[in-house]
A and B are shown apart, each in its own frame.
Chain A
Amino acid sequence: MSVATETTPRSADKIRVTRSRRNMAWTGAGALVVVVVLALFPYIVYSGTTGIMVQGFVILTMASMWNLLAGYAGLVSVGQQAFVGLGAYFVLILAIHGTSPFAALPVAAIGCGVAALPMWWLVSRLRSGYFAIATWVLAATVMLIIERFPALGGGTGLPMPGLSGFDPTLLAAYTYWIGLAVTVLALATVWLVLRGRLGLALTAVRDDEVAARSSGVRVGWVRMLVFVVAGIGCGAAGALNSISLLNVNPDAVFSVSWTAKMAFAVVIGGLGTIEGPILGTLLYMILQQSLQSYPSWYLMIFGAVAMIVALFARRGLWGLVDDHLHIRLFPVGYWLWGPDSNGRRGAKGPGRRGTGGRGRGGRHSEGQRSG
């Protein structure tokens, strides 16, 4: 918008703004191929492999949601396990009353979104670190309340009913497909949210909250929306997890290690990028599979790597990839094709250093300065 008005007419006709450096059709086709190949997996590999991949889907869905929270809305929630647990218990409640757990999953996810509203009301008045611990206390409170219901298994939990009729191979395949669907939906939601008006508002809030507020972004409203979306996503992931484990145990589903896994996957992969959580989840799964007989070790290593990345490579591994190769699988910003920028990223303005690579929606302004 401002490109045409602020540049001279001579150069204006040489400037083009696109969503991506490459044709979006290729990305779309590539994504479609990946999804189709993944959908065929139950026919190709053993159910043990799909079981592992379902765990990956669970983490990836959660990580995408946590990325939306921390990477864009500036909400470091350490209490997302509240939604993981609620998702599991909502499926359990519906399954006890005769609904198929698979049909119950979307209902449970919506239920988590509804539950996120009062929880947001409680924690929204706290900032940063205090917000983080408050969400944690909230998750502990939700668990303690749910443990009070003997019909839901009290403190020990219950096996998931309604799944015993399935043939094990078929059950694994169904779980896998549902997991794939949940993950694709989660990633698509994140991508669409970030491409749209809300994404612009979020990026503005992330980069400078005061400036965003004074430009008319309703910061509180935007944050609430993200909190609810993240609640739905984490709820769906929690529901999926409980279906794949055939069991709901309060201590396991409300464990803070869920938030640790999703947060570390995001931080290692790249906070504030859509590709980051995918890369981070991949690394998490590799680490988890290779150290699966030492459950404490992989969390220790994963946490230590996350700390190192947070300190020394703030945009994560995907940030390094992006800096060197300029690849963007899910473009949400704009690419400026200037008269002499030749499709390369415009020279970094001196002022950009301070925000340390957090900028991304503001790319066109960078280009302007150089062009």
Chain B
Amino acid sequence: MVWVNDIIQGVLTGGLYALFACGLSLMFGVMKVVNLAHGDLAVVGAYIALGVITVTHVPVLWSFLIVVPIMAVLGYGLQRTLIQAALNRGELTTLLVTFGLSVVIEAALLQFLSADSHALGVNSSIITGSFSIGSQIQIAYLLVLIFAVAVLVLLGLQYFLSASRYGRMIRAVADDREAAQLSGVDYRHVFGIAAAIAFGTVALAGIAYGMYSQFSPTTGTDTILLFAFAAVVIGGLGSLWGTLVGGIVLGVAQQIGAQINISYEVLAGYLVFLAVLVIRPQGLTSRKAQS
């Protein structure tokens, strides 16, 4: 029964990790940008949510209505300026610039907002509440909610990419930028839109993490970026639903590790990641190997 509980908890936590991962996956899929500042931006989202809640007293669950647009605008702006400038100069520069951004954001958060940990909506009933199945399985409403949000975000993204005008433009640019340009698509604008969407999911990930656990300036790289990346690799590079599979595998591995010894929680996740890297480098869901 303990194991059943672990698997249920792991699957639900996987939703959170999928939420971490889908922005990273989207930016790589469309712009071929591996955004090393991904985790720090999620933490920025969490801090913005904290500020919004403190100032306007909106309920924590509705803070996303304000934070997601802010982050989306930030994403569009960053993509059109810094990231596009780096992309024009090549892959190496893009990596260096996003790494620089990550370090600068983290140092700035430490300097201006201190190293203290924060959490979102500590007293809200949705965060503390849970329901039981049988005597040993207790499921937090929050985890179910986060999992549902992750699935909704992935469904929404898939619908958006396959059915909407901008979605088609994004896929066209991702497939063949020059052909898309010849058809009259301004690829820079499309990249900006994709970045705005990715940053929107990053904001959701930040808020979800802030409700799920405590966050501090170092959370972005220690936890969010590395877990997101592990989920992306386990699930298969560049696959949207793969991130959910990867997140779930990572979550279950961590829960089982924690069951053996609480200090093995994170390590178990990384070991599964390394095992996937060795046995199935293309990831669990993708059919052909990617270089």
Q: Which residues of A contact B (CB under 8 A)?
A: 70, 74, 76, 78, 122-123, 125-130, 132-134, 136-138, 140-141, 144-145, 147-148, 256-257, 260, 263-264, 267, 271, 294, 296-297, 299-300, 303-304, 306-307, 310-311, 314, 356
Q: Are B36 and A314 in contact (CB under 8 A)?
A: no
User: Roughly how many angstroms separate A125 CA and B291 CA in the complex, as a whole number?
Assistant: 8
B70-92: CB near A (< 8 Å → 1, else 0) gives 00000000000010011001011
B28 within 8 A of A: yes
- A145–B110 Cα distance when bound, in Å, is 27
Chain B 205-262 residues near chain A, CB threshold 8 A: 221-222, 225-226, 229-230, 233, 237
* Cα–Cα, bound, A306→B97 (Å): 8
B107/A129 in contact, CB under 8 A: no
Instruction: Verify A303–B103 contact, CB threshold 8 A.
Output: yes
Does B199 touch A at the CB level, under 8 Å? no
Instruction: Give min CB distance, B218 to chain A, whole Å.
Output: 9
Q: Which residue of B lies closest to A140 (CB)?
A: B226
Residues of B within 8 A of A137 (CB): 226, 229-230, 270, 273-274
Docked complex Cα distance between A314 and B271 (Å): 37
Which A residues lie within 8 Å of B104 (CB)?
A: 299-300, 303-304, 307
| CB nearest to B217 among chain A residues | A296
Of A138, A145, A260, A271, the contact of B99 (CB 8 Å cutoff)? A260
Listed by A's residue number, 20 A-B pairs whose Cβ atoms lie within 8 Å are A70-B92, A123-B277, A125-B281, A128-B34, A128-B91, A129-B28, A130-B229, A133-B229, A136-B221, A137-B273, A141-B267, A260-B99, A260-B103, A271-B92, A297-B111, A303-B103, A303-B107, A304-B100, A311-B82, A314-B93
> Interface SS of chain A: helix, strand, loop or mixed?
helix
Given A74, A257, A296, A297, which contacts B92 in the complex, CB threshold below 8 Å?
A: A74
Q: Name the residue among B107, B233, B281 with the largest chain A CB count within 10 angstroms.
A: B107
Chain B contact surface mostly:
helix
Give the residue of B85, B95, B267 whose beta carbon is less than 8 angstroms from that of A128.
B95
Chain B residues whose CB sits within 8 angstroms of the CB of A70 once the complex forms: 92
Choice from B103, B226, B266 contacting A133 with Cβ under 8 Å: B226
Would you give the shortest CB distance from A354 to chain B, in whole angstroms?
A: 11
Q: Could you tell me the distance in whole angstroms from the C-beta of B20 to the nearest C-beta in chain A?
A: 13
How near does chain A come to B47, taking the closest CB pair, in angstroms?
15
Q: Report Cα–Cα, A311/B176, bound state, in Å.
A: 25
Residue numbers of B with Cβ under 8 A of A are 28, 33-34, 36, 82, 85-86, 89, 91-97, 99-101, 103-104, 107-108, 110-111, 221-222, 225-226, 229-230, 233, 237, 263, 266-267, 270-271, 273-274, 277-278, 281, 291
B277 touches A125 (CB 8 A): yes
The answer to whether A122 and B92 have CB atoms under 8 Å apart is no
- From B33, B230, B237, B270, name the one whose CB has the most chain A CB atoms within 10 angstroms: B270
Known: A125-B281, A133-B226, A133-B229. A310 touches B100 (CB 8 A): yes
Q: Is the CB of B270 within 8 A of A78?
A: no
Residues of A within 8 Å of B278, CB to CB, are: 122
Q: Are A127 and B96 in contact (CB under 8 A)?
A: no
Q: Is the CB of B270 within 8 A of A140?
A: yes
Given known pairs A137-B229, A138-B274, A141-B267, the reply for A303 and B100 (CB within 8 Å) is: yes
Distance between Cα atoms of A303 and B28 in the complex (Å): 23
B86 touches A311 (CB 8 A): yes
User: With a CB–CB cut-off of 8 A, which chain B residues contact A125?
Assistant: 277, 281
Q: For B273, what are the chain A residues with a Cβ–Cβ distance below 8 Å? A: 137
B100 and A130 within 8 A (CB) = no
Please indicate the chain B residues that have their CB under 8 angstroms from the CB of A260 in the complex. Answer: 99, 103
> CA–CA, A74 to B90, complex, Å?
12
Of A123, A133, A145, A314, the contact of B89 (CB 8 Å cutoff): A314
| Interface pair A144/B270, CB less than 8 Å apart | yes
Q: Tell whether, in the assembled complex, residue A306 and residue B96 are in contact, meaning their CB atoms are under 8 Å apart.
A: yes
A310 — nearest CB in chain B belongs to which residue?
B96
* Min CB–CB distance A139 → chain B (angstroms): 10
Q: A127-B291, A141-B270, A300-B104 are in contact. Are A311 and B111 (CB under 8 A)?
A: no
Interface contact B36-A310, CB-CB below 8 Å: no
Q: Which of B96, B110, B277 interacts with A307 by CB under 8 Å?
A: B96
Q: Are A296 and B107 in contact (CB under 8 A)?
A: yes
Other 7 A-B pairs with CB < 8 A, given A134-B233, A303-B100: A126-B281, A128-B92, A130-B34, A133-B34, A134-B277, A138-B274, A303-B107
Q: Which residues of A contact B222 (CB under 8 A)?
A: 140
**A78 CB contacts on chain B under 8 angstroms:** 36, 99
Shortest 9 CB-CB distances between A and B: which pairs? A129-B34, A296-B111, A307-B100, A300-B107, A303-B103, A303-B104, A144-B267, A133-B229, A141-B270
A144 to B222, CA, bound (A): 12
Chain A neighbourhood of B229, CB < 8 A = 130, 133-134, 136-137
Q: Of the candidates A136, A145, A311, which one forms a contact with B226 in the assembled complex, judged by CB atoms under 8 Å apart?
A: A136
Q: Cβ of A129 and Cβ of B271 under 8 Å apart?
A: no
Please determine whether A145 and B267 come into contact, CB atoms closer than 8 angstroms.
Answer: yes
In the complex, what's the smallest C-beta–C-beta distance from B243 to chain A, in angstroms?
14
